[in-house]
Amino acid sequence: MIFPERLKTLHSRTPERVAVYLQFPNRDDVPISIDQLLRGSQSFARVYERKGIEPGEVIILILQHSENLIYAFWGAILHGAIPSIMPFLTDKLSPERYRSDLAALISVTKPAAIVTYPDFEGEVRSAITEGSSVRSVIVADQIEMGLDIDFDSLSGFLRKPGDIVLLQHSSGTTGLQKGVALSHQSVFNQLDAYGKSLSLNEKDVVASWLPLYHDMGLIAGFIMPILSGIPLVLMSPFDWVRAPYKLMHSITKYQATLLWLPNFAYNFFAQKIRNRHLEDVDLSSLRAVINCSEPVRWESHQAFYKRFKDFGLNLEALQTSYAMAENVFSVTQSPLGNVPVVDEIDREAFMSERVAKSPVDGHPTIKMMSSGRPLENAKVRIVDEQSVDVPERVIGEIILKSDCMLTGYYNRGDLTEKAFVDGWYRTGDYGYIVNEDVFVTGRKKDMIIVGGRNIYPQDLEMLTYEVPGVHPGRSVAFGMFDDVQGTEDVVVIAEVDSNDVSEQQQIADAIRLHVTKNSAIALRYVNVVGPKWIIKTSSGKTARAANKAKFMDELRMKR
């Protein structure tokens, strides 16, 4: 099966059925029927053809939440080109950094075209250098809509199931991002397996505010509902973060049944909505609210349930999944109908022995929540450093095999090769298994996960060194779990020569500004300290765990 064929089938059955309800803050919802979706997309496909974009070439989409984003994406599919949705520039990031990141992306991905919006055209053009692969910058607003659909004239129908259908770029901090290349067949294999585990059916409605440049938003909150013939209610992440209550009204209005959220969003929803904003909200239609893309927390589910149980939310609707772009999306899913398994374990054994043991009377415990069971098309193993399987309840690296894996990191065969061992994909995540339940406990590398975004501490440390007064090797960055927010806070510690408090304060400001402008990461704690604060290993490297422990001790003393 290929994407265009599926679209054609959906169109032949119910052309007038609404595929997407697009929501905006100051406008009525825009319903887009399958027929409109295909017409709009065909208009883009024609433009790509006229501009000489060949099937199999990459088209980068840098567009705001709009009809055009949807048409530009499916238009690329109908043309047989390979779309990749990228974030646009926000207030947070400096234009220079955005430009250099975009230039780096272009040099690896070698797109033939970039589609953007009028205000952003200049920015995009300035990232394109002499000899670049980009032959065409297309401004979305200048495209005329209309014309009946003529399937036979669209070159996307000549694609093969094994061909690459789209690229999904990983959410790195700075510089080169890996483009996960997925085939038509892999995506359909995922949709089949995941659809079964969710008992996806024609009565379902998906509501989403997730960005489409992220795997959870792109697959669960865009491609899956559209290709499965299920209505999607789509809001922009920028609107959601300012008015989370509006999503609750969308769920009520369209009787949405499925919702995917990163862990922090459970806390965000629970804490930041006024009662007056919840009048007439009814969440009883939700049959699954799926926690995914950050470590899942039992406490966050409890807070969410407590806040919304009086608005019709069923406890059994709260579910979990473990997913990654390299597997298209979902690897595991908690069985619907029951709450996910919660495993209360001894904290000491978990921290020091790397084993999930039963609690000992009187000792502190941790509540681990299962991310569910592997989908029927996926196999999961837990292995040690030598790739040898470990027993149940022992923590090791999660490795994975399925029929929906990535084709490769686009134009990065070297990285693809490193990612697999004997045909098993190394996830870089730590976890353990009990019965069939997979518990994800953390990242192998010191990666920080904030709001579903993966951040390498080294990137933040490198940026800190660029601030005057901070010497290379004298900064350490790490994540610290914040129970209130339900996600990690980013902490940067920088050592300077001066013990003068006001001078340290100025450097702290400069670090905050510089890091945010160059990574779009907001730092929660910036701690500028005097000489000899930072703990080093015997080889002179900064020891992140030791520095984190020291920082947390100091923080506790202050409170």
Partner 1 sequence: MTEVITQLSTFLSTDILKQPDRVIAPDEALISSGLIDSFSLMDVALFVEDTFGVRVEDTELNADVFDNLTQLAALIESRK
Q: What's the Cα-to-Cα distance from 35 to each of 14, 82, 424, 435, 470, rounded to whole Å?
A: 9, 22, 41, 47, 58
201: CB partners within 8 A, 6+ apart:
none
Question: Considering beta carbons, is residue 284 or 505 the nearer one to partner 1?
Answer: 505
Amino acid at 246: K
Say how far apart CA 289 and CA 220 lie, in whole Å: 12
Beta pairing partners, 18: 33
Min CB(519)–partner 1 separation in Å: 10
513 contributes a contact to partner 1 by CB under 8 A: yes
244 binds partner 1 (CB under 8 A): yes
From the list 282, 407, 516, 543, which residue makes contact with partner 1 (rule: CB under 8 A)?
516
Span of 59-67, 193-201, 213-221, 516-524 interacting with partner 1 by CB under 8 A: 516-524
The reply to whether 553 sits near partner 1 by the rule CB under 8 A is: no
Q: In the bound complex, what is the minimum distance in angstroms from residue 454's beta carbon to partner 1?
A: 17
Q: Please identify, using beta-carbon distances, which residue of 23 and 183 lies nearer to partner 1.
A: 23
Cβ–Cβ < 8 Å for 56, 32: no
Question: Judged by CB under 8 A, how many residues of this single chain contact partner 1?
Answer: 29
Cα→Cα distances 258→31, 109, 370, Å: 19, 34, 19
Question: Is the Cβ–Cβ distance between 20 and 35 less than 8 Å?
Answer: no
Q: How far is the CB of 282 from partner 1 (least distance, A)?
A: 21
Cβ-based nearer residue to partner 1, 25 or 56:
25
**Which range, of 81-89, 254-262, 361-369, 507-515, touches partner 1 by CB under 8 A?**
507-515
* CB half-sphere exposure, 191, CA atoms < 13 A: 25
- Binding letters toward partner 1, positions 270-289, x by CB under 8 A: --x-x---------------
Least distance between partner 1 and beta carbon 510 (Å): 12
Taking CB under 8 A as the rule, does residue 526 contact partner 1?
Answer: yes
Helix and strand tally (H, E) in the chain? 17, 28
Can you tell me which of 99, 517, 536, 550 binds partner 1, judged by CB under 8 A?
517
CA 556 vs CA 11, 505, 530, 549, 550: distances in Å: 61, 21, 19, 11, 10
Asked if 249 touches partner 1 (CB under 8 A), the answer is no
Q: Establish how many alpha carbons lie within 13 A of residue 543's alpha carbon, considering only the half-sphere containing its beta carbon.
A: 14
Residue (243 or 383) nearer to partner 1, CB: 243
Per CB under 8 A, the segment of 70-78, 85-93, 124-132, 391-399 that binds partner 1 is: 85-93
Instruction: Say whether residue 486 binds partner 1 (CB under 8 A).
Output: no
Binding mask 88-107 for partner 1 (x = CB under 8 A): ---xxx--------------
Q: What is the CA radius of gyration of the chain?
A: 24
CA distances 353 to 34, 278, 347, 356, 393, Å, are: 55, 46, 10, 9, 11
Which DSSP letter does residue 310 get?
A: G
Q: Does residue 158 belong to the site contacting partner 1 (CB under 8 A)? A: no
Residues at the interface with partner 1 (CB under 8 A): 25-26, 91-93, 238-239, 241-244, 246, 268, 272, 274, 451, 501, 505, 508-509, 512-513, 516-517, 520, 522, 524-526
